[in-house]
Amino acid sequence: MLHVHTSREQLPAKHRRSARPMWGAALILIAFAACDGCKSMSKQPVAENVVHSRQMSLDALEALQHRRYDDAELLFAKAIETCPVDERARYHYADLLWRRGDHDGAIRQMNEAVRLSAGEPSVVVRLGQMHLARGDTKQARRQAERAVQGDHRNAEAWSLLGDTQRAAGQLDDALASYHRALSLQEVFPHVQVALAEVYRAQHRPQRALATLAALEDRYRADRVPPELLVQEGLALRDLGRHDDAARVLTAAIDRGSKLTETYYALALVQAQSGDFVNAQLSVAAGLELSPQHVPSQRLRDELFQARVPRGNEWR
């Protein structure tokens, strides 16, 4: 909702007296317009319910900051009950439900937020991201296209569109959308990492490394995100630089990327560079996280049968 603030001191003196009744009427209209459909609790004025709803939303956001998730969920629910047309309360409530694992409830609330906001592109994008996270690429694409049509300069909308195109295997279209997003927002880590993944899928590891290097320059050496390091390590592996790949992937794990896939990638490059002992340790660490990871199981068996250099043997 757009709020315009104009002080009486900005008006010419001859208009100040007449401005007061005009603004008074306008404020009454705004209050009732914002509150249309709000449930009246007892006999309180409708506008007061709006105030109560907004205050409960603020209290809910404060509870979120202190990780009091039960309190936050209850407050958002009460805020929406008090004023069902408050799209902001529904937006934040949907995000909270999503984080708590109630994905169906989150999407229902976000759909309402989209409707009440008249298709505000940023709200539409969040709904699309939820659909994409659930694997519903068709609905995600629909929301992405709607958001782009609503605001051609919304970088998040172009990013979402690129994500849906990449999920559908339309890599060239995804590249175009991601580059459009970067033209609107120069530093966009999600898009830059996604671009690197697309370049790798197109067997262009050098372009992937260049894209990641441009992003990495934005961080201090000890603050580079682990997901960026993983992609850099995979690009180095694609280039046959196994020792460099192992070093970078090890750094990614040290920074917090403790995923079975990361351990598997590290074990693979270690084995490819002849470091079978550490490869076995890496694949074992990954299997502790996901014992049913088939590629890791296969690599573990192959490493077990491999002859280790310098007289070492598997035991």
Cβ neighbours of residue 38 under 8 Å, at least 6 residues apart?
46, 49, 50, 53, 82, 83, 84, 85, 86
What is the per-residue pLDDT across 267-313, written as a single tens digit (0 to 9) for each? Answer: 999 999 999 999 999 999 999 999 999 999 999 999 988 754 443 44
| The pLDDT of residue 311 | 39
> Is domain 187-257 classified as CATH 1.25.40?
yes
Using 50 as the pLDDT threshold, list the residues of the chain that sit under it.
1-37, 39-46, 308-315
- The residue extents of the domains of the chain are 187-257, 260-315
Architecture of the CATH domain 260-315? Alpha Horseshoe (1.25)
**pLDDT (tens digit, 9 = 90+) per residue, 6-23?**
333 343 443 433 333 333
> What pTM, to 2 d.p., does this model score?
0.76
